[in-house]
């Protein structure tokens, strides 16, 4: 089984996603389905209810359907498809595919804002990846669990998981994933109010992202460096980091991230009394948030603009 992984994001949180092997598509029909899913982001009908025993390929297609439903925000349909896939992978006693789906279910519950529900899925996936000696995926899952605790406002516990992940990624010399973990550790220290350690780890993450050409992640870390300086009243330094992040957000085609950075720049200008400039940045951010349907970002930006007017 091919050990493929990709990096992705959940609301500016790095995640590690295990990919299902090409070998899982055993025949031409299912290989064609796979290519359709990959190239056109479509959902392939899978009829498993009337089958005496669903095939492994049915589970593969259901997994991809779930990914595509998730990508368009159809979380309940995604949840249903993942759960069907999970049953099939367990029937075929394929622990790696089972753990892959368990990880995805954890991610899905995080996207739904249900952190507590994500934990048991991550913990089940962690046990399997550890037993399979899948070091990258084991460490990635430790990072997932850390992000759950960060979102539940428990950075000290998050730090324990991120430090476990860091040791594994360093041992297997995964440079970009080491950078991801440095970033998570920096965020945990920032949440704990330890600014010096936050800066230390963010600054360790940055060169690794540059080296591995992870433009989107480099932009996020620059943005977080901006927030640290903004929180400590160093407004010009904050602007410098935000202005470095902004073109990288655009290059990575991260529109939500671009709007976030625009809003951050606006808040700096608002803080130093340059309200006209602040409004310009807020307006740019607002256009993007409206365009991508981010109601939360839109509301926050309107609130910021209201404070000026």
Please check whether residues 51 and 76 belong to one and the same domain. yes
Q: Which of 213, 228, 256 is the last residue of a domain?
A: 213
What's the rounded mean pLDDT across residues 266-274? 96
pLDDT of residue 45: 60
Q: pLDDT digit string (tens) for 98-111?
A: 999 999 999 999 99
Contacts of 32 (CB under 8 A, 6+ apart): none
Same domain, 104 and 177: yes
pLDDT score, position 71: 85
Instruction: Give 179's pLDDT tier (boundaries 50, 70, 90).
Output: very high
Tell whether 30 and 140 lie within a shared domain.
yes
Of the pLDDT bands very low, low, confident and very high (cuts 50, 70, 90), residue 39 is very low
Task: Give the model's pLDDT for residue 50.
Answer: 54
**Apex 288 CA angle, 284 and 289, nearest 5:** 115
How many domains does the chain divide into?
A: 2
Q: Which range, of 8-12, 160-164, 196-200, averages the lowest pLDDT?
A: 8-12
Q: Are residues 167 and 222 in the same domain?
A: no
Tell me, yes or no, whether 29 and 64 share the same domain: yes
What is the domain extent for residue 162? Answer: 1-213
Do residues 215 and 199 make contact, with C-beta atoms less than 8 angstroms apart? no
Q: Last residue of some domain: 213, 247, 275? A: 213
Q: Compute the average pLDDT of residues 51-76.
A: 89
Q: Is the per-residue pLDDT at 267 higher than 80?
A: yes
Confidence check: pLDDT of 13 > 60: no
Q: How does residue 44 score in pLDDT terms, banded at 50, 70 and 90?
A: low
Q: Which residues pair with 18 in a beta bridge?
A: 5
- Identify whether residues 94 and 193 lie together within a single domain: yes
- Whether 56 has a pLDDT exceeding 70, the answer reads yes
Higher model confidence: residue 41 or residue 10? 41
Mean confidence (pLDDT) of the chain:
87
Tell whether 152 and 231 lie within a shared domain. Answer: no
Convert the pLDDT of each residue in 221-237 to its tens digit.
999 999 999 999 999 99
- Give the per-residue pLDDT at 7: 45
Instruction: Answer yes or no: do 280 and 300 share one domain.
Output: yes
Give the mean pLDDT of 148-167.
Answer: 97
pTM here is 0.83
Q: Identify whether residues 92 and 223 lie together within a single domain.
A: no
Q: Are residues 169 and 293 in the same domain?
A: no
Query: Comparing C-alpha atoms, which of 68, 80, 77, 3 is closest to residue 38?
Result: 68
**CB-count burial class (<10 Å; 0-12, 13-18, 19+) for 35:** exposed
Confidence check: pLDDT of 25 > 50? no
Tell me what pLDDT residue 202 has: 97
**Is residue 242 located within the same domain as residue 195?**
no
Last residue of a domain, one of 190, 213, 236: 213
| Residue 175: half-sphere exposure toward Cβ, Cα within 13 Å | 9
pLDDT given at position 72: 86
Q: What pLDDT, on a 0 to 100 scale, did the predictor assign at position 308?
A: 86
DSSP designation for 20: P
* 161 and 266 together in one domain: no
User: Is the pLDDT at 36 greater than 70, yes or no?
Assistant: no
Domain containing residue 244: CATH number:
1.25.40.10
């Amino acid at each position: 089984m091919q050990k493929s992984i990709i990096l992705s994001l959940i609301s500016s949180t790095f995640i590690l996603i295990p990919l299902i092997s090409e070998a899982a598509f055993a025949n031409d029909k299912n290989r064609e389905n796979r290519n359709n899913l990959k190239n056109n982001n479509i959902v392939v009908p899978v009829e498993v209810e009337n089958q005496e025993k669903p095939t492994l390929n049915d589970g593969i297609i259901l997994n991809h359907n779930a990914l595509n439903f998730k990508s368009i925000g159809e979380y309940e349909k995604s949840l249903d498809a993942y759960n069907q896939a999970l049953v099939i992978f367990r029937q075929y006693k394929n622990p790696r595919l089972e753990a892959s789906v368990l990880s995805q279910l954890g991610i899905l519950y995080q996207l739904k804002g249900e952190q507590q529900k994500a934990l048991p899925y991550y913990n089940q996936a962690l046990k399997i990846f550890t037993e399979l000696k899948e070091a990258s995926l084991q460490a990635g899952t430790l990072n997932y669990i850390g992000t759950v605790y960060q979102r539940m406002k428990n950075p000290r516990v998050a730090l324990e998981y991120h430090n476990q992940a860091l040791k594994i990624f360093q041992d297997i010399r995964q440079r970009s994933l080491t950078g991801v973990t440095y970033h998570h550790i920096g965020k945990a220290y920032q949440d704990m109010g330890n600014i010096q350690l936050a800066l230390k780890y963010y600054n360790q993450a940055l060169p690794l992202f540059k080296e591995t050409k992870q433009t989107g992640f480099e932009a996020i870390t620059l943005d977080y460096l901006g927030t640290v300086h903004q929180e400590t009243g160093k407004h010009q330094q904050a602007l410098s980091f935000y202005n470095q992040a902004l073109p990288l957000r655009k290059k990575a085609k991260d529109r939500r991230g671009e709007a976030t950075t625009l809003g951050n720049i606006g808040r700096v200008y608002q803080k130093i009394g340059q309200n006209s400039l602040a409004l310009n940045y807020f307006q740019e951010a607002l256009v993007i948030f409206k365009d991508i349907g981010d109601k939360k970002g839109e509301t926050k930006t309107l609130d910021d603009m209201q404070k000026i007017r």
